[in-house]
Amino acid sequence: MEFIDNQTIVNHYDFAKLIDRLQAAFAESEIQVPMRHHHDFINPGHDDSTLLLMPAFEPGKETGVKMVTVFPDNGRYQLPSIQGLYLLFDGQKGYCKKVFDAKAITVFRTAATSAMASRLLSRDNSESLMMVGTGALSPMLIRAHATVRPIKQVYIWGRHASRAQAVKQSLADLKLEIQVVSSIEQGIALADIVSCATLSKTPLIKGEYLKPGQHIDMVGAYRPDMREADDNCLKRSVIFVDHYAGATKETGDIAIPLQKGIITRKDLKADLFELCRGQKSGRDNVAEITFFKSVGHALEDLVAAQLIDKLIEKKI
């Protein structure tokens, strides 16, 4: 059994290939995905923590399961908030082929999924990106979005300017104009695409900040008590989600407005399955504000692990 660490994944990932494979998988894949296990538990002296178990099966090919913990306070220990393992099994004989660093797989597939959604929802000529948040996902989200749109300018905001500068420095190899901004409102005013990846419990993206034609990519707020967008943001937007079952229950960005009657289930225009299959349309005009909420789906993890496996083995 081989362990694939973070650096090996970083050395082999390919956003263009994964984005295409994810879109094909959402459109036509036979991958079977049970509802994930989501267990919140008390962590004395810290914010509540979470254990996630996410299985997926592609009959006759591979089976995979991700086991991760989410400890929101890990920044105080210089540790990532998301840690865990991804196990990839042979689909016919059941043996474990490889064990991956789940954090790296999660970052890779989450960023690729956001970029895939942007390819379906943002304006083709989107050239500027606002990144809210400075965690491990932030530089990968910027790289992924720049894969599908002609991004030239990037604006970064974080609670700590030094971390925003670190994200900027990590992207030095890209031919982008990157600026750290002092406020979220300032960055949104300049951006065609706004991506937000935080663990905030209070809204950061406010509807009053938005302008016609923007695409809003909401990646954080993975628990029902977390929110990155306020009610006005949702009311001004056309709403899309990665999958209905998770989005309506697991994230406060959707669950709280539904409970308050700010939006209804009918206000969720489409999920990724419907978009990728062409069953529902994405952006209808250049003035719409499109809002995509990602909570994560085990299909994405399995597709990412399969791709990394093949890239390492040089089978593609």
**pLDDT tens-digit map of 61-106:** 999 999 989 888 887 888 888 889 999 999 999 999 999 999 899 9
Side by side, which strands form the sheet with 49-58?
Answer: 2-4, 96-101, 82-90, 62-70, 49-58, 37-41
DSSP-derived pairing of the beta strands 153-157 and 96-101: unpaired
Nearby residues of 83 by Cβ (< 8 Å), 6 or more positions away:
68, 69, 71, 74, 102, 103
* pLDDT band at residue 44 using 50, 70 and 90 as cut-offs: confident
Burial, 249: exposed, middle or buried (Cβ in 10 Å; 0-12, 13-18, 19+)? middle
Residue 140 has pLDDT above 80, yes or no: yes
By percentage, how much of the chain surpasses pLDDT 90?
79
Q: What is the pLDDT of residue 70?
A: 85
Residue 191 has pLDDT above 80, yes or no: yes
Cα angle value 223/228/230 (rounded, 5°): 115
Containing 64, the helix (H) or strand (E) segment is strand 62-70
**pLDDT tens-digit map of 156-177:** 999 999 999 999 999 999 999 9
What is d(CA 206, CA 217) in angstroms, rounded to the nearest whole number?
Answer: 13
Beta-bridge mates of residue 268: 239
Q: Where are the alpha helices (DSSP H) in the chain?
A: 6-12, 15-28, 102-121, 137-148, 161-170, 184-190, 231-235, 244-250, 252-260, 272-276, 298-313
Residue 155 has pLDDT above 90, yes or no: yes
Q: Choose the weakest-confidence range: 13-17, 36-40, 259-263, 283-287.
A: 36-40
Q: What is the pLDDT of residue 38?
A: 83
Q: What is the pLDDT of residue 98?
A: 95
Residue 151 DSSP SS3:
coil
Q: What is the pLDDT of residue 46?
A: 81
Nearest to 285 by CA among 213, 209, 193: 213
Beta-bridge mates of residue 56: 64
Residue 310 C-beta-side C-alpha neighbours within 13 Å: 13
Q: Stretch 98-116: mean pLDDT, rounded? A: 95
Q: Taking the model in full, what pTM does it have?
A: 0.91
| Residues 102/53, Cβ–Cβ less than 8 Å | no
| Residues 106/66, Cβ–Cβ less than 8 Å | yes
**pLDDT tens-digit map of 226-277:** 999 999 999 999 999 999 988 898 898 999 999 999 999 999 999 999 999 9
By percentage, how much of the chain surpasses pLDDT 70?
100
Residue 29 has pLDDT above 80, yes or no: no
Q: What is the pLDDT of residue 199?
A: 87
Q: What is the pLDDT of residue 17?
A: 97
Mean pLDDT of the chain: 93
Domains of the chain: 2-105+299-313 (3.30.1780.10), 114-296 (3.40.50.720)
Q: What is the pLDDT of residue 221?
A: 85
What is d(CA 304, CA 15) in angstroms, rounded to the nearest whole number?
Answer: 10
| Cβ density class 280-290: b for 16+ within 10 Å, e for less | eebbeeeebbb
Residue 47 has pLDDT above 80, yes or no: no
Crossing angle, helix 15-28 and helix 137-148, to 10 degrees? 80
Q: What is the pLDDT of residue 80?
A: 80
Containing 99, the helix (H) or strand (E) segment is strand 96-101
